[in-house]
Amino acid sequence: MKDYYYFLGIAHDASEEDIKKAYRKLSLKYHPDKNENDDFFADRFREIQEAYETLSDKGRRISYDQNLESHQKSFRYTVPPSIKNFTANKIHAKKGEEIIINWQTQNADIVKVMPFGLEKAYGERVFKITEFKNGKFQLLLHATNSLLHKTAVQGITITEVFETDSEKLRDQAEELFRSQPRTAINRRGQPKIIMLMWGIVILAIALYFLIKTLGG
């Protein structure tokens, strides 16, 4: 059974205002129009809408809470959770290429496939990788038995491949000019090429003063 509170990132006793705030924040973040109609964001957006429509309606929320509580009480496994299988149809892929993953778990009442979120105990998902991090895309399957407070975890790493060397060089060149996440060192999120140039300038200045000091 889907946990709508998890989808919205709120507590089970959240107020109506808490529900509205969470929905507004997440709907802006995952709206397909702002994410190039990516399937992952479209799926998350539908889940968020479904959760909000249920929890924002008092009558539907009461009925949902009762069903959720009944579901949780009926879950009485005493065996630790396990993962029977977690596979991908390919572990080397190009950006934008379609990937199919399958999984099957046992004795778990909470199953998550990251970065997608909550899923059924077994299933299949088709998606496309739009971005790799350092040439890799990480998938993690979490199978949790909430009564035993135990979780089984298994991962799949998909490595980026390129059609030609020129394509790889082009991608690396584009990465140099792409804006980066803001950090304490790079507060403006400047591209790598700018940070590299600043590093060269600072090194040149340091060498100049070092030579000047030694020469004096």
Res 177 pLDDT > 80 = no
- Tell me the C-alpha distance between 49 and 33, whole Å: 15
Domains of the chain: 4-74 (1.10.287.110), 82-161 (2.60.40.10), 166-215 (no CATH)
Can you list the alpha helix ranges (DSSP code H) found in 32-132? 39-55, 58-74
pLDDT at 157: 95
Residue 44 CB contacts under 8 Å (≥ 6 apart), including other chains: 26, 30, 116, 117
**How do residues 108-158 score in pLDDT, each as one tens digit?**
888 999 998 888 888 899 999 988 988 899 999 999 887 788 899 999 999
The answer on pLDDT for 72 being more than 80 is no
- Asked whether the predicted pLDDT for residue 171 surpasses 70, the reply is no
**Which pLDDT belongs to residue 216?**
59
pTM, rounded to two decimals: 0.50
As a whole-number percent, the residues of the chain with pLDDT over 70 amount to: 86
CA neighbor of 197 nearest in space, from 33, 205, 87: 205
CB 147 within 8 A of CB 79: no
